[in-house]
Amino acid sequence: MRVLVIEDGDEYLEFAVSCLGDGFEFMHAHSHQEACDALAASAAINVFFFDLRFERSTESALVGDIDATAKRMFAGDRMRARRWVKDQQGALILAALRLAGHKQRAVFIHDFPPVRLANLRKLYGDVLAVPDFNAALIRKALMEGSR
């Protein structure tokens, strides 16, 4: 099963390779653009494995209009908007991938409030979240994505 790991560092990939066991082939992307490149290079990606917060990403690598977010949500405070875009980057990348027609299951490691998770599912379809780095639960979530 081919999994595209999308994160700003390498902790998810390191965890996946070391803790999830056999049966997976992992590809890695640090941004929306890299995810698009990986998808273009391999049509057989079964599932997306997402981090939510991309604090280490440079602004140019982020999806999301920071200036528009500042006006819409933070009374023009660009710094708070930038932080928000980074904090939500995984979901923003997922939105962009869905818009481009990629319907694979998305698995997040994040403790979403139930309402937020329900909203993500309403917007983006097949989305699962595991609240922490629990290898057994993550493996199950990823494996079910191939069915």
Partner 1 sequence: MTPLEEFERDLVLITSIEGLGEITDAMNHDVGKYIARVARNVSAYETGREALTPTLLAMLVKDLFETHQSKPASARFATLRAELPESLRASRIIEDVAARLRAIDSLESKVRIGDAGAVGDAVRESLLISGCLSGVARAVRRVMDARGDDA
Residue numbers at the binding site for partner 1 (CB under 8 A):
11, 14-15, 18-19, 52-53, 55, 73, 80, 83-84, 87, 109-111, 113, 131-135
39 vs 70, beta carbon nearer partner 1: 70
15 vs 26, beta carbon nearer partner 1: 15
Min dist CB 10 to partner 1, Å, is: 10
Phi, psi of 57 (to 5 degrees): -70, 145
Min dist CB 37 to partner 1, Å, is: 26
Min dist CB 86 to partner 1, Å, is: 10
Strand segments (E) across the chain: 2-6, 25-29, 47-50, 105-109, 127-130
Q: 52-91 burial, b if ≥16 CB within 10 A, otherwise e?
A: bebeebeeeebbbebeebbeeebeeeeeebbebbbebbbb
Residue type, 105: R
Min dist CB 19 to partner 1, Å, is: 5
